[in-house]
Amino acid sequence: EAQVTQNPRYLITVTGKKLTVTCSQNMNHEYMSWYRQDPGLGLRQIYYSMNVEVTDKGDVPEGYKVSRKEKRNFPLILESPSPNQTSLYFCASRQEGRRTEAFFGQGTRLTVV
Amino acid sequence: GENVEQHPSTLSVQEGDSAVIKCTYSDSASNYFPWYKQELGKRPQLIIDIRSNVGEKKDQRIAVTLNKTAKHFSLHITETQPEDSAVYFCAGGSYIPTFGRGTSLIVHP
């Protein structure tokens, strides 16, 4: 089954404790991206990648890191989480090209206390 | 980069009525305009999309129209049903989509 898988689904952590949210897709998609969803603000892009070893900042990259060492995986790293990073996070992947559908992971609800 | 604005932020209708959600975009190079539906607690999923070489596309009760000159596109839902209640997002942009802020559609039985 074609899918984008994120882990964990839910995470509560403390300020400053490094964490990683994993994202994996099995559709051989070139494009992958991370979004955060906050009430009233919609889906804001954090980082995106157009292929292995190619990543770029989105609209809200501060406090986040990503890597794309393999085509299928695109982890999101919070080196020192803060309470303002409490949010719902989605990973998405898309086939190369300008007119293709984005497939989303199930979402990760992160709470930083 | 692309700037996508979506209106309204909330839309409340009675079952059976029509609903229209509108989006504007800034990048003239944008040529793909998808609409995603996000039900409560779930991930966004594509419901319909339109490419810049057509002006309208229909799929049963939903349709999307595109006006390239004015740089806006709209989602139309006819004969709304309670299961249409969800958040709807439009998107624009070239390679990596930029999303609108979403419209919360509430269909009252």
Nearest CB among B32, B43, B102 relative to A104 is that of: B43
Verify whether the Cβ–Cβ distance A48 to B43 is below 8 Å.
no
> By the 8 A CB rule, do A44 and A33 touch?
no
Spatial CA neighbour of A89 closest among A106, A107, A113:
A107
Residue type, position B32, single letter = Y
- Residues of chain B in contact with residue A35, where contact means CB-CB under 8 angstroms, are 99
Distance CA B40, CA A91 (A): 17
Verify whether the Cβ–Cβ distance B43 to A105 is below 8 Å.
yes
Amino acid A2: pLDDT: 81
- Residues of chain B in contact with residue A107, where contact means CB-CB under 8 angstroms, are 43
> By the 8 A CB rule, do B50 and B64 touch?
yes
Q: How many CA atoms lie within 13 A of A53 on its CB side?
A: 0
Strand partners, B50: B33
Distance CA B75, CA A110 (A): 31
**pLDDT tier, A52 (very low <50, low <70, confident <90, very high otherwise):** very high
Non-local (6+) Cβ contacts of A99 within 8 A are B31, B32, B49, B51
Q: What is the mean pLDDT of residues A61-71?
A: 97
Distance CA A71, CA B103 (A): 33
**pLDDT profile of chain B (109 residues), mean per 10:** 91 98 92 94 95 89 94 97 97 82 96
B92–chain A Cβ distance below 8 A for any pair:
no
